[in-house]
Structure 1
């Protein structure tokens, strides 16, 4: 069990033109990590992986556990073994991100970020399920259901990546949330921490597994400027 690397299937960039077909099963993905984030076949909601269980936050607001046979076009996972922990209090999302990036010198580092505790406020969004012919990522996420909770107990899980790797993944923070009662989840748009525990795990290795048996992926002509712009619009 390697705890020194992030395993990523697919890239954020392949979602930009609309390559949403699942190309790895959840069962195979979980062989490479017990914690992480992603999306399901057809850009169907937000995936949160904790303690070896993969959950889908759906566009109707429901949370359910994902079966091992279900497929994903994109996901990042790791085996959890935090190297640093700290108590965090009374922080909003922007201040939290600035503080963590500065204090732990993350600018040029891959890191897994986990926060467990009480949140005064949480706001998420969920990518709506797409059917073929697929829209581009920007068009598919132009309107997304949003969900809010107050005084919520739960977990933030996600990653920080150097901006150099924007396109392969999200440069900077990419965070998902799952409440302890599984009533709220999704991609984080905002939060305010009341009292929580931060766990941080840095990685020297970032392994990207590409769907080279998928014909649409092999035929796609990617444009870096389009990818960068689309990620900034759809994932921030």
Structure 2
């Protein structure tokens, strides 16, 4: 290991930034070196766990804008499951249950989110995908391991997009019950972006295993959690993620929760369509 001395002003600045963001000094230094040298860090940053969501822990863990210290691309939700979060090009969007999309500029809270500083390793174009199932199969070609995380950005024209957006949910209502009343939306002939994360099977205790995509239209007026899709001339960019950082809440509710149960069944139910509303 090489020890590199730094000046007192730099040390004080690092300590102040670490206190402000909560990020350890070694990570701040690594990020600065990555930016300065143009070398991606390929780190996935996650707030809380999917298991906590299943148990109805929906209160603020961090502010949504705090996430931008750790990534410019990702997905999640907001306090009390009030809509779907899409983080794209360094901007946070909230897709609400009434179908509207808000650009987040304040300190709105989030109980769960996943972000990366997106830097694609692969950049491909596919002619078409007739269904979400086919799109997932195509994405599988760009993964060379089942034991790493991957970020997927898919841009293009979609013949059909079917999404949902969670309604604000009373505290403590289990995720499966909250998902049963989620509004769903159909969009036709629309351009936009799919923001996705693929998580390996061993992550089932704290993340959604497999593919998890949120959609945002090119004009930033439509979106949601992806349930089904078809599209043509789609640009697929992929980043392999070999570093993982998990930030756990310190609320009394989280500290006392029983998180020993397997959340996969309830998560699978929440991922499925339940009620259809055409817009």
| TM-score, normalisation: structure 1 | 0.95
1:224 pairs with 2:264? no
Moved over 4 A (4+): none
Distance in 1 (alpha carbons) for counterparts of 2:134 and 2:151: 18
The structure with the largest helix share of the pair is 2
Q: How many residues align?
A: 233
Give the equivalent residue in structure 2 for 1:214. Answer: 251
Distance in 1 (alpha carbons) for counterparts of 2:254 and 2:165: 24
Query: Structure 2 stretches of 5 or more lacking a match?
Result: 1-30, 32-39, 273-279
Give the equivalent residue in structure 2 for 1:30. Answer: 68
Give the equivalent residue in structure 1 for 2:212. Answer: 174
Query: 1:96 deviation in Å?
Result: 1.2
1:140 pairs with 2:139? no
| SS class of match (2:229) | strand
1:129 pairs with 2:165? no
Cα deviation code 1:66-122 (max 9, x no counterpart) = 133111000000001101010012202101101221443342220000101111110
| Pair 1:28–1:119, CA change in 2 (3 A) | same
The structure with the largest strand share of the pair is 1
Query: 1:131 deviation in Å?
Result: 2.5
Distance in 2 (alpha carbons) for counterparts of 1:167 and 1:105: 23
Cα deviation code 1:164-208 (max 9, x no counterpart) = 111311110000000011221000000101111000000111111
| TM-score, normalisation: structure 2 | 0.81
Query: Structure 1 stretches of 5 or more lacking a match?
Result: none
Q: Return the structure number with greater relative CO, CA threshold 8 A, min gap 6.
A: 1
Give the equivalent residue in structure 2 for 1:187. Answer: 225
Distance in 2 (alpha carbons) for counterparts of 1:99 and 1:106: 15
Give the equivalent residue in structure 1 for 2:21. Answer: none
| SS class of match (1:95) | helix
Instruction: Name which of 98, 101, 107 aligns with 1:69.
Output: 107
**Structure of greater Rg:** 2
